Amino acid sequence: MNNNTGILYELVYVSTAIRLFNEQLLKDLLVEARDRNKTLSVTGMLLYKDQSFLQLLEGCKENVLKLYEDIGRDKRHFRVKTLHQGHSHERKFENWAMGFQRLDDSDSSKLPGFTRFLHRDYDVGEISQMSGQAIELLLHFRKFS
C-alpha cells in the first residue's frame, strides 16, 4: 500500500464506546473501517475491550487527519483522546487495511500496563503521557496476529 501524496503520518487515540459492542457490531465496524481506510490508503490497528478502543492510524497526513475528524464525530463512542500524533518514517501496519483484535480478560492479564489503555474508567491525564507504551501494545498484537 503506498502513501499517496503527503508525508507519512501516524495518530494514536483512545475512546469509550457508548455501549458494549457484541460480535456483530464489531464485525460491522471493522468492515466499514477497512473499506474506508483502503480508499484513503490508511492502515492501522484497532484494539477493543469492555467498551474501550485503542487505535493507531497511519497514512498521508491529510487522510489520517480527515479520518480522525470523522471518527471524532462518530456517535458510537465518546471521550476520544489523542495519545500521539506526528510524522513517521515507515508504516507499522503496512499490509493491514485495519488490523483488529478483541481482547478478553485472559488476554489482558498477561500484558503489563494493559488496563491503563483499555479500561472504561481510564484516567485521561495519566494515559496521555504514555503514547510510547500505547504504540508498543499495538505492535504486540501485530506481531502475534
17 lies in some domain: yes
- What is the structure's pLDDT at 124? 56
55 lies in some domain: yes
2 lies in some domain: no
52 lies in some domain: yes
99 lies in some domain: yes
Helix, strand, coil percentages for the chain (3-state, nearest 5): 40, 30, 30
User: What is the number of structural domains in the chain?
Assistant: 1
Whole-model pTM? 0.75
Q: What is the pLDDT of residues 57-77, one digit of tens each?
A: 999 999 999 999 999 999 989
pLDDT bucket at 106, cuts 50 / 70 / 90? low
Beta strands in 2-102 (DSSP E): 8-17, 43-49, 52-60, 77-87, 99-102
Long-range contacts of 66-69 (CB under 8 A, 24+ apart): 66/40, 67/36, 67/37, 67/40, 67/42, 68/11, 68/13
Higher pLDDT: 128 or 45? It is 45
Residue 19 has pLDDT above 70, yes or no: yes
76 lies in some domain: yes
- What is the structure's pLDDT at 115? 45
The CATH number given to whatever domain includes residue 117 is: 3.30.70.100
3 lies in some domain: no
Residue 38 has pLDDT above 70, yes or no: yes
Give the domain range for residue 138: 8-144
